[in-house]
Chains A and B, each alone.
Chain A
Amino acid sequence: MGINSILDLVVIFTKAALVTLEVALASIAIALVIGLVCAIVLYFGVPVLKTLIRVYVVFFRNTPSLIQAYFIFYGLPKIFMVLDSFTCSVIVLSLLGGAYMCEAIFAAVKAISTNQKELALAIGLSKLDTVRYLILPQSISISIAAINNNAIFLTKEVSAMKLILLPEIVYQAFSIISLRPDLIIPVALFMVLSYLVILIPMTYAFSRVERRIRYAEFGN
């Protein structure tokens, strides 16, 4: 890796930051879908699925993501197929994030009063409509802060994917330092800077979304 100027570092870290951002955004989106679906299944209490989801959530919340990544990156090829590190990272983080999102959203679902659920019954609303018009919009606005937290957590968790060779920020930083130990200080600075460049706008955008959703749902 020939690094002759600051500009080379800028190029490397811009690319790495883009990889981090892509993996993060894809995982956040998929994790949200997984979380929503799981929370709804838990709400309906679907017999076998309910238990499967419980097991899934316990498993993914209580093991480090890097072990999950190892299993999927090195284990999956033995039984299924070889996946590139990008796909693998998205799978791992989506499953990890899905477990967290499920917990956050289901907690919000439980927070909606039984009075409201009875009311929905009393006006003849079907179970599906109850979920669509009452449970989902309210649980999302109740859990939006937790969802945002999970999203930021997932973005930082992309760094663990360096172990399955995803060319993200930390992976690149470590590779450079291993070849050019003299660059440790500028590289460390770039590494931190890359995260801030991604996460500060992201948290700002999330807080905007948070405010807008809460306003739309409750008028405050």
Chain B
Amino acid sequence: MLLKVQHLKKSFDGNTVLKDISFDVKKGEVIAILGRSGCGKSTLLRCLNGLEKIDSGEVWLDDALITGPGMSYRHWSEVRKKIGMVFQSYDLFPHMNVLSNITLGPMRVEKRSKEEASKEALKLLERVGLLEKQSAYPRELSGGQKQRVAICRALCMNPEILLFDEVTAALDPEMVREVLDVIRGLRDQGLTMLIVTHEMAFAEKVADEIIYMENGTIAETNTPERFFSAPSTVDARKFLNLQDDFTI
């Protein structure tokens, strides 16, 4: 098991956002986390990357406890080499060109040489179709291009698992497509991914497993086929109907 989450709890100022979350992620698995806004999906990802301190529970990565009761967050810099994250707000560092944005982490965190990091960065840029933008500054890129660069930046750290937090939510439809194509390519290469998304059709196609969250709990874990044809909870059924209304 690559990632094990056990009885994770998190609250903000007495407001419980995650109530007893447990699930496992196998190596190479792609899990889509669905649910209404405010159900705790994003908070869950942020907890897994140490951006939020959890109240209780345990998270294991590669059979090593990475967060648990009373553990400090000092080792997180190490953990984050293995757990990459891409955010909704495709923020690149505005004062660095595309290549430097990608190589900063590998060079400073993993202490790799500039040549080696650049070589890998260029390979990644080629894969997402942005090789010619390597010296461009973020302000010269479209939202979709920025988000693809942000994915390269996370990939260049060679993470064992990649977390996607609604990475297409702030993009227009055409750009959504180019970003989703990149993610699909990553799945085909066998990268382990946790994807929080509102793109139902995409989740259905790309995920091995769907986790449906409701009010800070996991309401249902199912295969995409079964979840989308016959969700087991009333809430999920309502949620999917709602989605259908929108796609008409």
Min CB–CB distance B45 → chain A (angstroms): 10
- Are A113 and B85 in contact (CB-based, < 8 A)? no
Q: Known contacts A118-B51, A137-B95, A138-B95; decide if A220 and B80 are in contact (CB<8 Å).
A: no
Q: Which of B69-110 contact A (CB under 8 A)?
A: 76-78, 80-81, 84-85, 87, 89, 91, 93-95, 97, 104-105, 108-109
- Are A122 and B77 in contact (CB-based, < 8 A)? no
- What total of chain A residues lie within 8 Å of the partner, measured CB to CB? 21
- Are B87 and A118 in contact (CB-based, < 8 A)? yes
- What total of chain B residues lie within 8 Å of the partner, measured CB to CB? 27
Q: Nearest residue in A to B73 (C-beta to C-beta)?
A: A121
Stretch at the interface among A45-53, A56-64, A123-131: A123-131
Q: Which residues of B are in contact with A by a Cβ distance under 8 Å? A: 49-51, 76-78, 80-81, 84-85, 87, 89, 91, 93-95, 97, 104-105, 108-109, 137, 139-140, 153-154, 157
Q: A125-B108, A137-B95, A218-B139 are in contact. List 12 more A-B contacts (CB 8 A).
A: A115-B91, A118-B51, A119-B93, A122-B154, A123-B80, A124-B105, A126-B108, A134-B93, A134-B95, A217-B95, A218-B95, A220-B139
Q: How far is the CA of A121 from the CA of B105 in the complex (A)?
A: 10
- Are A116 and B91 in contact (CB-based, < 8 A)? yes
- Of the candidates A119, A133, A141, the one whose C-beta lies within 8 Å of that of B108 is A133
Q: Known contacts A124-B77, A125-B104, A218-B139; decide if A119 and B94 are in contact (CB<8 Å).
A: no
Q: How far is the CA of A125 from the CA of B85 in the complex (A)?
A: 13
Interface majority SS (helix, strand, loop, mixed), chain A = helix
Q: Nearest residue in B to A123 (C-beta to C-beta)?
A: B105
A residues less than 8 Å from B108 (CB atoms): 125-126, 129, 133
B residues less than 8 Å from A119 (CB atoms): 87, 91, 93
What total of A-B pairs shows CB separation below 8 Å?
Answer: 70
A residues less than 8 Å from B97 (CB atoms): 219
10 nearest CB pairs, A to B: A123-B105, A124-B80, A219-B137, A217-B95, A124-B109, A115-B91, A122-B85, A124-B77, A129-B108, A115-B89
- Are B80 and A219 in contact (CB-based, < 8 A)? no
Q: Nearest residue in B to A219 (C-beta to C-beta)?
A: B137
- Are B137 and A133 in contact (CB-based, < 8 A)? no
B residues less than 8 Å from A141 (CB atoms): 95
B residues less than 8 Å from A220 (CB atoms): 137, 139
- Are B140 and A126 in contact (CB-based, < 8 A)? no
Q: Which of A197-220 contact B (CB under 8 A)?
A: 217-220
B residues less than 8 Å from A118 (CB atoms): 51, 87
- Are B157 and A124 in contact (CB-based, < 8 A)? yes
Q: How far is the CA of A125 from the CA of B91 in the complex (A)?
A: 16
Q: Which of A137-173 contact B (CB under 8 A)?
A: 137-138, 141
Q: How far is the CA of A218 from the CA of B78 in the complex (A)?
A: 30
Q: How far is the CA of A145 from the CA of B37 in the complex (A)?
A: 42
Q: Known contacts A113-B91, A115-B89, A220-B139; decide if A122 and B49 are in contact (CB<8 Å).
A: yes
Q: How far is the CA of A89 from the CA of B237 in the complex (A)?
A: 76
- Are A123 and B109 in contact (CB-based, < 8 A)? yes
